[in-house]
């Protein structure tokens, strides 16, 4: 008999992404505004108390992912998967912090993916955030030891720069690597269409390309200020928010994948404003309202076989056990 723990966490869009200089740790200094959207990743942790308990090493026996978006060509159901690593991280935190850690029953993981894979929407980070809170519930049930929010945030930051935001959700200003968060006031709801151009665009390549482009183009300066966007978010007016959207990485993403220019034009003609989401390649289109977003998604599907499109609204809550 299994004991199941189900949790979900949101994908994200960067309303603003300012990219500063490269840091000694290899990351860039960021000034970014995240918004969590209701394309949620769902993780089910199934514990097996009838099997021999695990005292050291990974408690994860297997991982299986169900895709509601395009399946990648590579196998992601491995110990390198962020959901698997997040469970391991939570268990290791318990073993490190508990006075007398006890063995834990092995678990199977199931991930239900609704966010594009490697698309700049933090799908993997959402998997990690959901797995962290599911694993914390599992640890507490079987041992009585509670991993508090501070411990979970510490593990989240170690897993990846976007994971802390996927834990928190809402709308937040991210600094440092993007993992130092400050909640931002935001009124209203915002409707998006996310369009996947079905091309690969590794994050590291995009940042490196921006660095190279800045050497030859003095106009590509870091945009680290977020005041205009913060003022727009307080109004709840999607038109004002659209006017304030910005992504320093967009020129680099377009330079690396020129087909994104066409996609930005196609999307931008159908809504308030289109930008590259995060490091790409997904394009995020802010729409006037829900009906506009739904109609635009349908138009994209009807007219462009080479694109994959979904709609979503934000802001929404972060990772939760269901």
Per-residue pLDDT of the chain (322 residues; tens, 9 = 90+): 899 999 999 999 999 999 999 888 888 999 999 999 999 999 999 999 999 999 999 999 999 999 999 999 899 999 999 999 999 999 999 999 999 999 999 999 999 999 999 899 999 999 999 999 999 999 999 999 999 999 999 999 999 999 999 999 999 999 999 999 999 999 999 999 999 999 999 999 999 999 999 998 888 999 999 999 999 999 999 999 999 999 999 999 999 999 999 999 999 999 999 999 999 999 999 999 999 999 999 999 899 988 999 999 999 999 999 9
Residue 59 half-sphere exposure, CB side, CA atoms within 13 Å?
A: 31
Q: What does the alpha-carbon distance between residue 7 and residue 285 come to, in Å, rounded to a whole number?
A: 28
Determine phi and psi for 118, rounding to 5 degrees. Answer: 55, 45
Task: Look at residue 115 and tell me if it is in a domain.
Answer: yes
Task: Please report the pLDDT score of residue 68 as a whole number.
Answer: 95
Q: Are residues 129 and 258 in the same domain?
A: no
* Radius of gyration of the chain from its Cα atoms, rounded to whole angstroms: 20
Active-site annotation holds for 127:
no
DSSP conformation letters of 85-140: HHHHHHHHHHHHHSSSPPPB--EEEEEEE-S-TTSSS-HHHHHHHHHHHHHHHHHH
∠ Cα 69 72 78 (to 5°): 110
**Whole-angstrom distance, CA of residue 288 vs CA of residue 189:** 10
Q: What is the distance between the alpha carbons of residues 81 and 46, in angstroms, rounded to a whole number?
A: 17
> How distant, in Å, are the alpha carbons of 44, 45, 48, 79, 263 from that of 138?
11, 8, 11, 19, 43
Give, in degrees to the nearest 5, the angle at Cα 180 between 241 and 65.
85
The single-letter DSSP state of residue 167 is H
Contact 83, 130 (CB under 8 A): yes
Measuring CA to CA, which residue among 298, 245, 296, 232 is closest to residue 269? 296
Q: Exposed, middle or buried by CB within 10 Å (0-12, 13-18, 19+), for 294? A: middle
Determine the pLDDT at residue 26.
Answer: 84
Co-location of 8 and 132 in the same domain: yes
Judgement on whether residues 145 and 60 belong to the same structural domain of the protein: yes
Asked if residue 309 and residue 253 are part of one domain, the reply reads: yes
Choosing from 88, 112, 127, 162, the catalytic residue is: 162
CB 16 within 8 A of CB 31: yes
Instruction: Please count the structural domains in the chain.
Output: 2
pLDDT value of residue 195: 96
- The predicted pLDDT at position 25 comes to 87
Best CA proximity match to 224, nearest among 30, 13, 8: 30
Tell me, what's the pLDDT at 216? 85
Residue at 320 is within a domain: no
Token pair 């869009």: residue: 13
> Within this chain, do residues 81 and 125 fall inside the same structural domain, yes or no?
yes
Query: Which of 149, 182, 215 is the endpoint of a domain?
Result: 182
Residue 173 lies in a domain: yes
Catalytic residue of the set 12, 112, 127, 179: 12
| Residue (of 112, 256, 122, 111) closest to 194 by Cα position | 122
Distance, in Å, from the CA atom of 318 to the CA atom of 322, rounded to the nearest integer, reads 12
CATH number of the CATH domain containing 75? 3.30.230.10
The bridge status of strand 180-183 relative to strand 320-321 is unpaired
State residue 45's pLDDT score.
98
Residue ending a domain, choose from 152, 182, 212:
182
pLDDT for res 11: 98
Residue 237 belongs to domain spanning: 190-314
Q: Is residue 280 part of a domain?
A: yes
CA distances from 199 to 191, 215, 273 (A): 24, 27, 22
Nearest in space to 117 (alpha carbons), one of 206, 201, 19: 201
- Is there a domain that residue 34 lies in? yes
Residues in Cβ contact with 48 at an 8 Å cutoff, skipping those fewer than 6 apart: 2, 61, 105, 106, 107, 108
């Amino acid at each position: 008999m299994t004991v199941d723990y189900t949790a979900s966490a949101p994908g994200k869009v960067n309303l603003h992404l300012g990219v500063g200089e490269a840091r000694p740790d290899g990351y860039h200094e960021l000034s970014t505004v995240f918004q969590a959207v209701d394309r949620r990743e769902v993780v089910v942790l199934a514990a097996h108390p009838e099997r021999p308990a695990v005292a050291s090493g990974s408690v994860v026996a297997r991982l299986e992912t169900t895709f509601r978006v395009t399946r990648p060509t590579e196998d992601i159901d491995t110990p390198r998967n962020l959901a698997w690593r997040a469970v391991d991280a939570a268990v290791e935190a318990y073993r490190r912090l508990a006075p007398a850690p006890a063995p834990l029953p092995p678990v199977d993981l199931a991930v239900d993916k609704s966010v594009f894979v490697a698309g700049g929407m933090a799908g993997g980070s959402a998997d990690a955030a959901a797995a962290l809170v599911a694993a914390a519930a599992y640890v507490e049930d079987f041992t009585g030891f509670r991993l508090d929010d501070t411990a979970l945030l510490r593990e989240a930051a170690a897993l990846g720069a976007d994971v802390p935001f996927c834990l928190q959700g809402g709308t937040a200003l991210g600094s440092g690597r993007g993992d130092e968060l400050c909640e931002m006031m935001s009124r209203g709801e915002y409707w998006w269409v996310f369009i996947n151009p079905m091309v690969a665009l590794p994050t590291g390549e995009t940042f490196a390309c921006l660095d190279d482009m800045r050497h030859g183009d003095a106009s590509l300066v870091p945009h680290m200020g977020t005041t205009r966007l913060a003022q727009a978010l307080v109004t709840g007016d999607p038109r004002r928010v659209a006017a304030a959207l910005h992504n320093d990485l967009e020129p680099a993403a377009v330079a690396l994948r020129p087909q994104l220019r066409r996609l930005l034009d196609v999307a931008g003609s159908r809504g308030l404003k289109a930008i590259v989401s995060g490091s790409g390649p997904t394009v995020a289109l802010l729409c006037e309202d829900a009906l506009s977003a739904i109609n635009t998604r349908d138009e994209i599907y009807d007219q462009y076989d080479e694109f994959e499109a979904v709609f979503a609204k934000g802001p929404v809550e972060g990772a939760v056990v269901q």
